[in-house]
Chain A
Amino acid sequence: MRVSVGFSSARLMLTLMLCGMSVILLENYNLSANQSFGLRMLSIAAGVGVCAVMFLPAAILKKRQNADISDALKSGNKLKRICFSVFFTAYLVFAAEYFLLKYTDMFTKKYYTDAPEWLIAALLLAVCAYAAYRGANAVTRFSVFLFGFVLIVYALIFGGAVGELEFSGAVLGEASDGFVNDFLFFVTPSFAAVIFSLVSGYTKRFRIRHIFIAGGVLAAFFAAEELFERFALGAYANQQEYRFFLLSKIQRLGEIKGMEAMYMAVVTASVFCLTALSVCAVKSVAEVSSLLNSVIFPVILFVLHLCAANFVFVREILSSVLIFDIFSLGAAAAVLLLAVSCSPERRSHA
């Protein structure tokens, strides 16, 4: 008989942070082209700050009753349980699909232009289903290796592009109108906070400092990315989609080629991690067996993906950053509501 074991919160946080990084890389072609460097930094700080705040419900839930969402749900009545389960499941499906769409879009635009999008999604989802079946613990253990790989790749990309930095035309303070738009994109990694809340029941030794460390690393990474994009690629970057992808192509390391393939590997593994964790998180709120859960939700994601590929309005809804951020805020608020409404005494009766 296999039993679930508690695993490190720091590792789960690390996994989600990685996913957050890669996701913003997928997003960055939507950032405002004329934004000044100073305001971009401000939008990063504000966005990451909101992300960090959205981790607080998980901390409160843990502090109040050392429980996770599934425990908190069980302590309520049936109607409440159904409503919250449906809401969280819908959110997780939306989150996974949101990133999957961005990923397949980037894949077919920048990597294999001839590749059928549905096949890419199907293969990735099949692997995610396997990982979800193996459990959240296996996925977070996987993230340790991914983290090592990410460090190597980013060191090569940034290290190779250091020689390209050119600060002569630096504009730091000029105001422009893209702050809110950029802020919304930098809030995107807050999905990590919701997933963390949903699977935090497995974790041990969760500390508030983990939130600050994760937020700090995330902000530093975005700032570095912004620095290199702005001062290595300059105005040319603003004319390109997926500027980080471009950065990986221009790095100078002699005869070493294929950096974009390594970047693609990082993004693929991150999206895989994120989707697999989303499917694992669904298991904690929907009362289905592990095997069933691992099959049903990837199939739903695939069907949604096909719909998005064929109907523009579905694609627009599923890839809208505004809807996604509102949904994330709502999910974080729902976690908070559960944490506050479910007292430790009531839980012990349940």
Chain B
Amino acid sequence: MFADSADLTIRELRLKSVEGISAALITIEGMCDKEVLAASVLNPLLAFDFGSKSGEEIFESMRSSVLSSAEMIEVIGFDEAANYAASGFAVVAVDGNKKMLAVGAQGYAFRGVDEPESEVVQRGSREGFCEPLRVNMSLIRRRIKSADLVFELMTAGEKSKTQIMLCYLKSRASDKLVQKVRSRIEKCDLEAVLAAGYLSEYLEDDGGRSIFSGVGISERPDTVCGKLTEGRIAVIVDGTPAVMIIPRLFVEEFQAVDDYSNRPYYATFIRALKYLAFVASVYLPGIYTALAQYHPEYFPTWILIKTSESISHTPLPVTLEVLLIAFVYEIMKEAGLRIPKSLGHAVSIVGALVIGESAVNAGIISASTLMVVAVAAICSYVTSPLYPPVMTLRFVFIVVGGLIGLWGIVLATCVVVINMCSKTSLGIPYLSSLSPFAHRTMRDVVLRAPWKTLSRHTIRVQNFPETEDE
């Protein structure tokens, strides 16, 4: 174990006044803070006079009075010792003892606590999760100081042995839900768990086959704490700033931390806008295609004249044109995400001016089609966590609208809604609050009721109607 690894360090120690019994300090280079290691492990061990004690007595003295670290765990066996060493602990072994001591001296380089770029808020904390598990735990603990908050350590990944922390409020989360999450993580048979996304499919009820996700992701400690108070469970994966929250319901995609800081009427207005933007981003290009292709008479006259004039000058059929623009937009979006920031402006200019304006001027695409796709694209960012399903559905509706018209869009809607209606997240219906309808929780769905009303009843996610048991 670690035999050929260059980062393994074993320091043999000769203990003061001890004959025939030696000790060893095992660390992994770069994982320990050298100053902490020297102050709390090495110096006390070398300075202490152990006298003529047996191996077991020496070990007991080390544990109780020599080593000064606050974090000290007894370990048995090389597997466990290796795990701790790889996590930044210094492992102390003494001749003639089965047990070893893992002493906390972690000190690896990591990114500091920073504002998460994906969840920017106007009012509220600027702190976001970072990569180390313990730092993320402290960010949550600072917000919920109650002893009710439980952190439960697990590992996943046959090779990576990634530390996973389940986090929940004992009085709020039901034991059944916690047990479900626990058993699903245990069933994970991946070799390496390098990010939260690796585990999310294992946590879903349908194994991630639906286009909507039943696992939420957040980089904000305040969001996670809010969810924990509703009986949800957070799963923190070491090495990633994205914390998973389960169960995740559809209506949550439209809620934001700012809603609870703003006035209720404004939060309600913003929520309504988000729902409208979601519908527009999914349906607008598809309905436009269906109308332009099969039902132009439904356009108001002034729009019909301009649209038909614009479309008649382009070489491609409307469906292909909409699909083409949507594809080009997705390519540009991916390019914008992956290229260095310094080149981002160049891509924007090329996209907006060269591809957009020039293509319209050259008569390759029509201005109305470009506008429709652009509006849908902007709307899809209003509910950014829903972007993958929104993008997929948009393409589906464009194709269906182009092939079968509005009737096809109605049928496709039936399929999508039935799929969503049958989806569950940890046994809780994904569309809960809307269908099955729960009037008590509706005060925080489209409407955001005042705090006095919200605090009147405690919402516990496992109490939603029609929750399934496995």
Contact = CB atoms under 8 A, between A and B. Distances in A.
Contact of A3 (B408, B410, B469): B469
Interface in B413-437: 413-415, 417-419, 421-422, 429, 431, 434-437
Contacts of B186: none
A124 interface: yes
Contacts of A141: 421-422, 429, 431, 435-436
B436 A139 contact: no
B406 A134 contact: no
Contacts of A255: 300
Contacts of B299: 257
B297 interface: yes
Contacts of B414: 127, 131, 142, 268-269, 272
Contact of B410 (A5, A112, A265): A265
Contacts of A120: 407
B49 interface: no
A130 B437 contact: no
A2 B468 contact: yes
A295 interface: no
Contacts of B469: 3
A268 B418 contact: no
Nearest to B466: A5
- The CB with the most chain A CB atoms within 10 A, among B299, B413, B415, B421, is that of B421
Nearest to A141: B421
Nearest to A8: B436
B418 A137 contact: no
Contacts of B417: 142, 145
Contact of A127 (B291, B415, B431, B465): B415
B466 A6 contact: yes
B466 A7 contact: yes
A25 B458 CA distance: 44
A3 B407 CA distance: 33
Contacts of B411: 123-124, 127, 268, 272
B295 interface: yes
Given A2-B468, A134-B418, A257 B405 contact: no
Given A112-B405, A131-B414, A255-B300, A138 B422 contact: yes
A141 B434 CA distance: 9
Contacts of A130: 415, 418
Contact of A111 (B407, B413, B429): B407
A264 B405 CA distance: 12
Which 8 pairs from chain A and chain B are nearest by CB?
A: A141-B421, A144-B435, A258-B298, A138-B422, A134-B422, A141-B435, A138-B421, A255-B300
12 contacts: A6-B466, A7-B436, A120-B407, A130-B415, A135-B422, A138-B418, A141-B422, A142-B435, A257-B299, A257-B300, A264-B406, A264-B407
Given A142-B418, A255-B300, A258-B291, 6 more contacts: A127-B411, A131-B418, A137-B466, A142-B421, A144-B435, A145-B435
Interface of B: 291, 295, 297-300, 404-408, 410-411, 413-415, 417-419, 421-422, 429, 431, 434-437, 465-470
